[in-house]
């Protein structure tokens, strides 16, 4: 059975304690540690949690941008959210995550109450074998956050062969581990679940860190409920690696072929 | 000869008067009017101008997200910018555009000083005839902003045939009119130059307005100088139209085949 209770590591990691009407405090546990600071996706989820759990929140996420301004220490952080405007069917938020006097992340979000309209899925899910047919990736011991997910690579695995790959694409099935019902927070986190595209293209490790990630949500509540705790088909590719920065385009698909979210990020790297 | 002087309509439209160390006032002229309020791309450019012309600015744009919170009236607006953090090689900004007590747009930006690194262009420019081989689009009288650009459609033109098109893709050459040397501001504006994808797919007009646009910049100063005042190859497509919102993915290519910027937006629509 899916475990969606408070004791799931994801729920622990995104937990926030209100400290005023528009501020929270939290502390990302070691279980989501990356090489330097926590996994970026959990920071994205924490910020979205501060907005979605606010009593003035109206609607569900349409767009979320998080800019990573500096490393986050293994210590408590403060999250401030500001409601900028509420319209009839949408809402605009800003957020800042700080440690001491330093801003660690800034964010903006748009929430909306969706209406019934003409619908069309133009993009098509990549061809992929079913997740049951693929072995789980035997993840190395560190970083810790990779053990919070079950990765099943179809292509574009990190081999560290030191041979230039023909492209920077990865296609994989991914879900939380232990299993957990998909929600907007975990979907937002999974949009950052890909290894830096420069590592995949060059098949070598290096220095790389996301400076900005934007996720656009097509999923509504019923999409999340349908997907439940089953793996998501996740695709990522880099478009251009140019003088210290590359972009990473990502698509997250339901196992029924619906585009749940699309995401794009800019990543700092050095040789 | 390219006209890059203060009298170019684009320069007039993005002009800002400082009102305090971190605030400006401006007024977008009729020449960039859209159906309701000004062309979104000019708002994006105005906000970026407020950041790039600030005396504490360090580096060039890497990522810019603008959320449109409400319509902008044909009246002066106030723009407030906040420098959130300066690191050794990058800088984080937030901006708010207001009219009276209402927030009309919020934004975040990352600037950076680029370093020399390994480079790779993985994405390929779409095949296209040269701009000299294509007729300029005979634009209708309104909205006014479309006359600030020279559009040369290769495919995905707005025909209003009322017949469902096979996809929502458009490919075109576009440049400012009159000609103008490309800079970060005009590149940011051009990332929003596409008609709403739902109009293209359905080939009928309707209500559609961008709620969030993110542009990632691959271009540096030398890319802009090389491109000069020649047309940009611009490509856009929608991925999923779902219950009132669709996404629009865009690529802006130099005429030498370099990806200058990639952009993604979420657009509200109704039938």
Q: Is the pLDDT of residue B5 over 80?
A: no
Q: Give me the domains of chain B, ranges plus CATH numbers.
A: 9-113+135-270 (2.40.160.210)
Residue numbers of A between 65 and 104 with CB closer than 8 Å to B: 65, 67, 69-70, 84-85, 87, 89-90, 92, 94, 96, 102-103
B118 neighbors A244 (Cβ within 8 angstroms) = no
B67/A110 Cβ within 8 A: yes
* Best residue of B100, B164, B169, B216 to probe chain A, by most A CBs closer than 10 Å: B216
Residue B170 contacts A where some CB pair is shorter than 8 Å: no
* Spatial CB neighbours of A7, under 8 Å, sequence gap ≥ 6: none
Nearest CA distance, B4 vs chain A (angstrom): 27
* Spatial CB neighbours of A252, under 8 Å, sequence gap ≥ 6: A187, A190, A191, A232, A233, A234, A259, A260, A261, A262, A263
ipTM reported for the complex, 2 dp: 0.96
**Taking all residues of chain A, what is their mean pLDDT, rounded to a whole number?**
96
A270/B262 Cβ within 8 A: no
Percent of chain A scoring above 90 in pLDDT = 96
* Best residue of B66, B84, B200, B223 to probe chain A, by most A CBs closer than 10 Å: B84
Q: Is the pLDDT of residue A2 over 70?
A: no
Nearest CA distance, B224 vs chain A (angstrom): 14
**In the predicted model, what is the mean pLDDT of residues A11-16?**
98
Tokens of A88: 């009839």
A41 neighbors A190 (Cβ within 8 angstroms) = yes
The 3-state DSSP class for residue B107 equals strand
* pLDDT for position B227: 98
User: Tell me: the pLDDT tens digits for A191-228?
Assistant: 999 999 999 999 999 999 999 999 999 999 999 999 99
Kindly list the residues from chain B whose CB atom is less than 8 angstroms away from the CB atom of residue A102: 85
A123/B239 Cβ within 8 A: yes
* pLDDT for position B6: 62
User: Tell me: the pLDDT tens digits for A132-162?
Assistant: 999 999 999 999 999 999 999 999 999 999 9
In this complex, how many residue pairs, one in chain A and one in chain B, have their CB atoms less than 8 Å apart?
213
Nearest CA distance, A115 vs chain B (angstrom): 5
**Taking all residues of chain B, what is their mean pLDDT, rounded to a whole number?**
96
Q: What confidence category does residue B7 fall into, taking pLDDT thresholds of 50, 70 and 90?
A: confident
Give start and end residues of each alpha helix (H) in B136-262: 184-190, 197-202, 221-227
Cα–Cα distance for residue pair A75/A99, rounded to 1 Å: 8
Residue A229 contacts B where some CB pair is shorter than 8 Å: no
Residue B6 contacts A where some CB pair is shorter than 8 Å: no
* pLDDT for position A84: 98
For the entire predicted model, the pTM comes to: 0.97
**In the predicted model, what is the mean pLDDT of residues B24-45?**
96
User: Tell me: the pLDDT tens digits for A40-65?
Assistant: 999 999 999 999 999 999 999 999 99
Query: What sign does the CA torsion over A208, B258, B40, B129 have?
Result: negative
Cα–Cα distance for residue pair B224/B220, rounded to 1 Å: 6
**In the predicted model, what is the mean pLDDT of residues B137-144?**
94
User: Tell me: the pLDDT tens digits for A59-103?
Assistant: 999 999 999 999 999 999 999 999 999 999 999 999 999 999 999
A168/B65 Cβ within 8 A: no
Kindly list the residues from chain A whose CB atom is less than 8 angstroms away from the CB atom of residue B115: 243-244, 270
Percent of chain B scoring above 90 in pLDDT = 96
Q: What is the 3-state secondary structure (H, E, C) of chain A?
A: CCCCCCCCHHHHHCCCEEEECCEEEECCCHHHECCCCECHHHHHHHHHHHHHCCCCCCCEEEEEEEEECCCCCCCCEEEEEEEEEECCCEEEEEEEEEECCEEEEEEEEEEECCCCCCCEECCCCCCCCCHHHCCCCCCCCCCHHHHHEEEEEEECCCCCCCCCCCCCCEEEEEEECCCCCCCHHHHHHHCCCCCCHHHHHHCCCCEEEEEEEEEEECCCHHHHHHHCCCCEEEEEEEEEEECCEEEEEEEEECCCCCEEEEEEEEEEEEC
A251 neighbors A232 (Cβ within 8 angstroms) = no
* pLDDT for position B175: 98
Cα–Cα distance for residue pair B240/B160, rounded to 1 Å: 21
Q: How far is CA B99 from the centre of its chain?
A: 21
Tokens of B268: 């509200």
Burial class (CB in 10 A: 0-12, 13-18, 19+), A162: exposed
């Amino acid at each position: 059975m899916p475990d969606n209770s408070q004791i799931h590591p994801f729920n622990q990691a995104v937990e926030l304690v209100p400290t005023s009407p528009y501020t929270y405090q939290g502390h990302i546990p070691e279980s989501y540690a990356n090489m330097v600071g926590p996994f970026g996706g959990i920071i994205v989820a924490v910020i979205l949690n501060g907005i979605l759990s606010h009593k003035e929140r109206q609607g569900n996420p349409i767009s979320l941008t998080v800019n990573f301004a500096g490393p986050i220490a293994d210590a408590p952080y403060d999250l401030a959210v500001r409601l900028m405007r509420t319209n009839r069917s949408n809402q605009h938020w800003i957020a800042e995550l700080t440690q001491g006097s330093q801003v660690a992340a800034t964010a903006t979000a748009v929430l909306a109450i969706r209406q019934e309209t003409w619908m069309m899925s133009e993009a098509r899910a990549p061809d992929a074998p079913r997740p049951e047919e693929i072995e789980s990736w035997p993840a190395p011991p560190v970083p810790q956050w990779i053990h919070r997910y079950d990765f099943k690579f179809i292509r574009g695995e990190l081999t560290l062969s030191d041979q230039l790959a023909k492209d920077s694409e990865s296609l994989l099935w991914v879900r939380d581990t232990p299993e957990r019902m998909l929600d907007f927070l975990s979907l937002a986190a999974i949009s950052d679940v890909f290894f830096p595209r420069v590592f995949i293209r060059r098949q070598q490790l290096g220095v790389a860190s996301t400076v900005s990630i934007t996720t656009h949500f097509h999923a509504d509540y019923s999409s999340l409920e349908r997907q439940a705790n089953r793996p998501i088909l996740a695709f990522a590719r880099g478009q251009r690696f140019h003088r210290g920065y590359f972009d990473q385009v990502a698509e997250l698909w339901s196992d029924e072929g619906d585009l749940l979210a699309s995401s794009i990020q800019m990543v700092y790297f050095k040789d």
